[in-house]
Amino acid sequence: MKYLSPHTIRTDSDHLSFFYDERSTRVTDIQLFLNSSIIENLKKSIQTRTYVVLGGDGLFVQVAKEAHRDNAQILWINYGTKGFLLHDREVFEKDSLEFVIQEYPMLHTDIQIGDKHIHGHAFNEVYLTRAGDASSIKLDISHRTKNIDGYVGDGIMISTPAGSTGWSRSYGGIVLPHDANLSAITPLGKMHPKDFEPMVIADKWRIRIKNDTTRKNPIDILVDNRRIVSMETDAFELIIERASSWVSLLIEKSYLQKWENKPYAELWFYS
């Protein structure tokens, strides 16, 4: 499968497909779960094609993009560490399960280098950064209401609400609620302009980024931490916009309030 690690195991059972990493320290617990009565309960409670993630945030993002491509729903059960978007395992020990569908945004990227177009989808973020021994990169950045010509720094990050709680936040970015129709832009190691601060923009706005080829410092472009352009010095234009279709997340009703509060917990509003 396109986005999955070679260490990802897929097990199909009727209309449900289960994914886990064979290297997981909890692989024994996962296999016990797959052989438990909970699976039959899930089959009865979910009637449509669904990808079930048994792991952490990293595996969840990989499978989410597979689900998006395959037009499948996705359900996640935390067998990792933080599990920002993931259900607690105890949720599924109930006799009766009821799910709601939450549509979650993704970003679409189109990178044009000469006559070549490179496309990608990001669940979390798109990230441009200096590569190799480059000291800084220089970019022209624009969207509907703002042009930033000659941005100089270590890089720039554009995040979805999900991505805003991770790398973007660690760089001082703005945390967005799950249901925000917004994207976050976060400068990384900025040198110019001095007044360029993290910002939010409407999800319908298209972001354009061009590099300054008078500076031969190479640039990497990563989508969800996967490098899709490496050491580029030729002229390119990167267009970032909301994808036309979103990811369908299944959330168990008893977990919904906790899930909705997680972005605020990141800001210490809730425990």
Domains assigned to the chain: 8-105+246-266 (3.40.50.10330), 107-242 (2.60.200.30)
Reading the block at residue 50, the tokens are: 């669904």
Reading the block at residue 56, the tokens are: 């952490």
For residues 201 and 188, give the distance between their C-alpha atoms in angstroms, rounded to a whole number: 17
Asked if pLDDT for residue 270 goes beyond 50, the answer is: no
For residues 231 and 220, give the distance between their C-alpha atoms in angstroms, rounded to a whole number: 5
Are 56 and 80 within 8 A, CB to CB? yes
Q: What is the mean pLDDT of residues 211-230?
A: 93
Q: What is the largest CA-CA distance in the chain?
A: 64
Could you tell me which residue, 82 or 49, shows the higher pLDDT? Answer: 49
Q: What is the pLDDT of residues 83-94, one digit of tens each?
A: 667 898 889 988
- Reduced to 3 states (helix: H, G, I; strand: E, B; else coil), residue 131 is coil
Asked if pLDDT for residue 188 goes beyond 80, the answer is: yes
**Cβ atoms < 10 Å from Cβ of 236:** 20
The answer to whether the pTM exceeds 0.85 is yes
Q: Which of 142, 140, 178, 141 is nearest to 160 (CA)?
A: 178
**271: pLDDT confidence band, cut at 50, 70 and 90?**
very low
- Reduced to 3 states (helix: H, G, I; strand: E, B; else coil), residue 194 is coil
Asked if pLDDT for residue 266 goes beyond 80, the answer is: no
pLDDT of residue 267: 60
Q: What is the mean pLDDT of residues 44-52?
A: 96
pLDDT of residue 268: 56
For residues 181 and 178, give the distance between their C-alpha atoms in angstroms, rounded to a whole number: 9
pLDDT of residue 131: 94
Q: Amino acid identity of 2?
A: K
Share of the chain above pLDDT 70, in %: 96
Residue count of the chain, please give it. 271
Residue with tokens 């945390």: 175
